[in-house]
Amino acid sequence: MRTAGRGPKSARPRFPSDREAPMQKALKKYAAFFTLPTLLAFAVAFLAPFLIGIYLSFTKFSTITDAQWVGFGNYAKAFEQGGDFLHSLGFTACFAAITIVSINGIAFLFALMLTRKLRGTNFFRTVFFMPNLIGGIVLGYIWQLILNGVLYHVGQTVISDATYGFWGLVVLVNWQMIGYMMVIYIAGIQNVPQDLLDAAAVDGASSGQVLRHVTIPMVMPSITICLFLTLTNSFRLFDQNLALTGGQPGKDSAMLALNIYQTFYGTPGYEGVGQAKAVVFFLLVAGIALLQLRLTKRKEVEA
């Protein structure tokens, strides 16, 4: 067992790096023990498939081993005029825009209501949060029943037109995510220092003003993370889409993730195109996420 070696106490100035060195050296010997399992799993589950995926997007293939290089051919096919990919992109983008605003707006409202020390706050919080625990597939079928039941009265079903599928998904995802975001907002609101609120009240601010000038700026970090979560969630939506409409009618209500899945597994000969679409999907999601984080991080205020 090594003991940390240090010079005579009076002789050397102490820098953080001096104190780290013995631990660093001791730990480095155990790099494999601490990181190998994770690294191996990560390599197999993510890293290798990711790199292989990028490669495959430039090839025509059906299993990995029979790939033939086609350059940007797959990407061209993915974006061809009037293609379903662009349609899915538009559908997904609209969906994301609407749900981000509605989920966060409503969740914030609910959070405001539940931070007023009303009776039964716990019960309400449970009820609003519960949908989030239910899996995407189950959610899709619950709402398929409800929406078909409602739409019956106008002679339609949730798959007779993509518009119904669209709004059905909007309702479903709102139901699912409002509770989750609400919980985060509640914590954020509860963290606003009481003295700030008191000071504002003393200064004669109306509750609207307090909200805009004190609460919201202080809650900005929660807003950042909620926007991030709803954004990435909406773009990546799959299970609910599959269950509620299966992309029907045709492929009109398929969002990006489902579209890619159907290209891979439902369209023989198009695996390469599917992979190309997936690369584009990844760049889109990563790009938007990073952009959003950068924009909202700037608005955060230190207490």
Partner 1 sequence: MFLVLCVLSLAFIAPVLVVLMNSFKDQFSISSDEAFHFPTGDTFVGFQNYVGGVEKTDYWNAFGCSLSITVCALAVIVLFTSMTAWYVTRVKSRYSSALYYGLIFSMVVPFQMVMFSMSKLANMLHLDNPAGLVALYLGFGAGQAVFLFSGFVKSIPVDIEEAALIDGCSPIQEFFLVVFPILKPISITVAILDAMWIWNDYLMPYLVIGSDYKTVPIAVQYLQGGYGSKDMGAMMAVLVLSIIPVVVFYLFCQKYIIRGIVAGAVKG
3-state secondary structure of 188: helix
- Within 10 A of 224 (CB to CB), how many other CB atoms are there? 18
Least distance from partner 1 to the Cβ atom of residue 105, Å: 14
Could you say which residues in the range 122-181 bind partner 1, by CB under 8 A? 123-138, 141-143, 145-146, 148-149, 151-152, 157, 175, 180
Tell me which DSSP letter residue 12 carries. S
CA 57 → CA 36, 67, 77, 275, distances in Å? 29, 10, 12, 5
- Assess 193 for contact with partner 1 (CB under 8 A): no
Least distance from partner 1 to the Cβ atom of residue 79, Å: 17
Could you say which residues in the range 264-303 bind partner 1, by CB under 8 A? 264, 271, 274-275, 277-279, 281-282, 285-286, 289-290
- Whether the CB-CB separation of 219 and 115 falls below 8 Å is answered with no
Least distance from partner 1 to the Cβ atom of residue 71, Å: 19
Tokens 């730990």 sit on residue: 27
Least distance from partner 1 to the Cβ atom of residue 203, Å: 25
Q: How far apart are CA 231 and CA 19, in angstroms?
A: 43
Residue closer to partner 1 by CB (options 167, 264) is: 264
Could you say which residues in the range 214-253 bind partner 1, by CB under 8 A? 221-222, 225-226, 228-229, 232, 235-236, 238-239, 242-243, 246
Could you say which residues in the range 12-31 bind partner 1, by CB under 8 A? 19-20, 22-24, 26-31
Q: Pick one of 9, 119, 294, 298: the residue that binds partner 1 (CB under 8 A).
A: 119
Least distance from partner 1 to the Cβ atom of residue 129, Å: 8
Q: Pick one of 11, 118, 202, 303: the residue that binds partner 1 (CB under 8 A).
A: 118
* Nearest one of 288, 230, 274, 286 to 88, comparing CA atoms: 274
- Whether the CB-CB separation of 140 and 211 falls below 8 Å is answered with no
Tokens 């709402």 sit on residue: 143
Cα-based torsion angle of the residue sequence 213, 214, 217, 219 in order, rounded to the nearest 10 degrees: -140
Tokens 């509620």 sit on residue: 244
- Assess 4 for contact with partner 1 (CB under 8 A): yes
Residue closer to partner 1 by CB (options 162, 243) is: 243
Q: How far apart are CA 77 and CA 63, in angstroms?
A: 20
Q: How far apart are CA 16 and CA 286, in angstroms?
A: 36
Size of the site for partner 1 (CB under 8 A): 106
Could you say which residues in the range 35-94 bind partner 1, by CB under 8 A? 35, 37-50, 52-53, 56, 63-64
